[in-house]
Chain A
Amino acid sequence: MTDILLGVGELGAANTPGDRLRTLALGSCIAVIILDAKTKTAGMVHVVLPLSKTNPEKASNLPGYFADTGIPTLIKAMGKMGCNENGKGKIVKLVGGAQIMDPNNTFNIGKRNLLAIKKILWKYRLGVIAEDVGGNISRSVAVDLGTGKIKISTPGRDEWEI
């Protein structure tokens, strides 16, 4: 039973039942969670911003920071653990992408992240089967490798699952 804690912009994958992949306080960041049914592998990346062109140097040091570099790198990392390096047999869940209360959507980085992520997933022919995104709450996530269940928490509320 190991907790693998992913920091801001980090990614990781695991396939030992009982282990958990976790990331904290997403705010407008999005956790992209990819589950591979055949190998029972789960991968997660904590995406901060949509596009690596903002800072190519950062993208090469910490590819998970950006949606367009994070998802391909995660899929490759899962490939090293025996998964196909394409969309076959994988399902995707998304968590995070919250925003402040802003009727004009000027600062909606969460939404921009979500759009960028979906565009890249589309290239892999990966559809999102479940998502808990948007709203005004900062979420923390735990992916249980054994059950594939995804637990979400935020201060002041009961935990829930997707």
Chain B
Amino acid sequence: MSNLTVTREQVLAELNSVPMLPHSASRVLEISNDPDHSMADISRVAETDAILTAHILKVVNSSAFSLSQRVDSLERAISYLGKNVIVGIVLSYSLSALYDKPLEGYASQKGALWAHGLRTALASKEIVKFTSGKHYANVAYTAGILHDLGKSIISKFMDGSVRELISSVENGTAADFLDAERVLLGTDHCEVGAELAKLWSLPDSLREVIRYHHRPRLADETYRPLVYAVHLGDMISMMGGLGTGADSMNYQLDSTYPDYVDISEDQLTELWFAVEQEFNKTKSVLFGDEEGDEQ
């Protein structure tokens, strides 16, 4: 696709062809946005969706768990898998059309966006504990999975322009990759993602993360602890080699983060370690133990 003719309007118009989020998924997102939700609340939503229920049972009975008995009830499946894994299953199942393709515009492989989101989710959930927004732990997890949603929409408009984007960051024409996207397309993955979140009526907290995860200081004050947490979670994910391709590590760390996140270098190192273990575990439950390029 030639980039010369692409306008912001064309990119945003692409949103009209994105399928709506399945009802069960938007309900799960809504529920997990409530700090006091329980496992039973999520179970009740999953129950109403037969395909989703079958999918959850398939995962719990898959090889990742060496259970002696088959699990046939959703309730037991959920108690085996835990809340985060269930939310992960619901999202991977509902977002597969967007997340399960290679991102040409970022020169990244199939699965990279999902792995990056999951790693960011697990890191953000821990980092938010070092902010004044501790009650956001569950939201931070879902927000982490969703934060780069916009990449799946704008990627095709950047196909063939990867080198141009990279060199504009390298020679300083653009401050970072996000800026480079904006120079090329008149918009960026944050704005487009936030527009999609609006179209899907996602809660404000999630939309704010999607919109400002690279510029947390611009987020609404109410959600700033959450947005800063995902901002750092995203950085940790990229430093661990789980970026989404050519843009990886080409983003600015917001130097105001210590105003919202009180974390030392040692705490960060310990957290890094715990997150990596949790990631490997969750990933093998969700997707099995396939080896592959992580980019």
- Cβ–Cβ contact A25 & B176, under 8 A: no
Binary contact track A96-138/B, C-beta < 8 Å → 1, others 0:
0011111110110110000000000000000000000000111
Min Cβ gap B234→A in Å is 9
Q: How many residues of B contact A (CB 8 A)?
A: 36
- Cβ–Cβ contact A136 & B249, under 8 A: yes
- When distances are taken between beta carbons in the complex, the residues of chain A under 8 Å from B169 are 136
User: Is B39 in the interface zone, CB < 8 Å from A?
Assistant: no
Q: Give A101's nearest chain B residue, CB to CB.
A: B252
- Cβ–Cβ contact B270 & A102, under 8 A: no
Looking at the complex, which of A26-34, A67-75, A83-91 is the stretch in contact with chain B? A26-34
- Cβ–Cβ contact A155 & B241, under 8 A: no
Min Cβ gap B265→A in Å is 8
Q: How far is the CA of A145 from the CA of B295 in the complex (A)?
A: 24
- Cβ–Cβ contact B269 & A101, under 8 A: no
- When distances are taken between beta carbons in the complex, the residues of chain B under 8 Å from A136 are 169, 249-250
- When distances are taken between beta carbons in the complex, the residues of chain B under 8 Å from A104 are 253, 255
- When distances are taken between beta carbons in the complex, the residues of chain B under 8 Å from A58 are 273
Q: Give B274's nearest chain A residue, CB to CB.
A: A55
- Cβ–Cβ contact A155 & B238, under 8 A: no
**A109 in contact with B269 given A29-B241, A101-B253, A157-B166 (CB within 8 Å):** yes
> Which of A27, A99, A102 is B242 in contact with, Cβ under 8 Å?
A27
**A27 in contact with B249 given A5-B291, A101-B176, A138-B243 (CB within 8 Å):** yes
- Cβ–Cβ contact A100 & B249, under 8 A: yes
- When distances are taken between beta carbons in the complex, the residues of chain B under 8 Å from A100 are 235, 238-239, 249, 251-253
Q: How many residues of A contact B (CB 8 A)?
A: 32
Q: How far is the CA of A140 from the CA of B245 in the complex (A)?
A: 12
- Cβ–Cβ contact A106 & B253, under 8 A: yes
Near A by CB (< 8 A), chain B positions 216-269 give 235, 238-243, 245-246, 248-253, 255, 265, 268-269
Q: How far is the CA of A27 from the CA of B235 in the complex (A)?
A: 10
- Cβ–Cβ contact B107 & A156, under 8 A: yes
Binary contact track B167-187/A, C-beta < 8 Å → 1, others 0:
001000000100000000000
- Cβ–Cβ contact B255 & A24, under 8 A: no
Q: How far is the CA of A58 from the CA of B239 in the complex (A)?
A: 20
> Which of B176, B239, B251, B294 is A24 in contact with, Cβ under 8 Å?
B294
User: Is B191 in the interface zone, CB < 8 Å from A?
Assistant: no
Q: Give B109's nearest chain A residue, CB to CB.
A: A155
User: Is A147 in the interface zone, CB < 8 Å from B?
Assistant: no
- Cβ–Cβ contact A24 & B293, under 8 A: yes
Q: Give B243's nearest chain A residue, CB to CB.
A: A138
Min Cβ gap B148→A in Å is 15
User: Is B141 in the interface zone, CB < 8 Å from A?
Assistant: no
Q: How far is the CA of A132 from the CA of B276 in the complex (A)?
A: 25
- Cβ–Cβ contact A49 & B293, under 8 A: no
User: Is A8 in the interface zone, CB < 8 Å from B?
Assistant: yes
User: Is B124 in the interface zone, CB < 8 Å from A?
Assistant: no
- Cβ–Cβ contact A107 & B253, under 8 A: yes
User: Is A2 in the interface zone, CB < 8 Å from B?
Assistant: no
Residues of B within 8 A of A (CB): 106-108, 162-163, 165-166, 169, 176, 235, 238-243, 245-246, 248-253, 255, 265, 268-270, 272-273, 276, 291, 293-295
Residues of A within 8 A of B (CB): 5, 8, 24-29, 48-49, 54-55, 58, 98-104, 106-107, 109-110, 136-138, 140, 154-157
Question: Which 10 A-B residue pairs are closest in the complex by CB-CB distance?
Answer: A156-B246, A25-B241, A27-B241, A156-B107, A155-B107, A102-B253, A155-B245, A156-B162, A136-B249, A28-B239
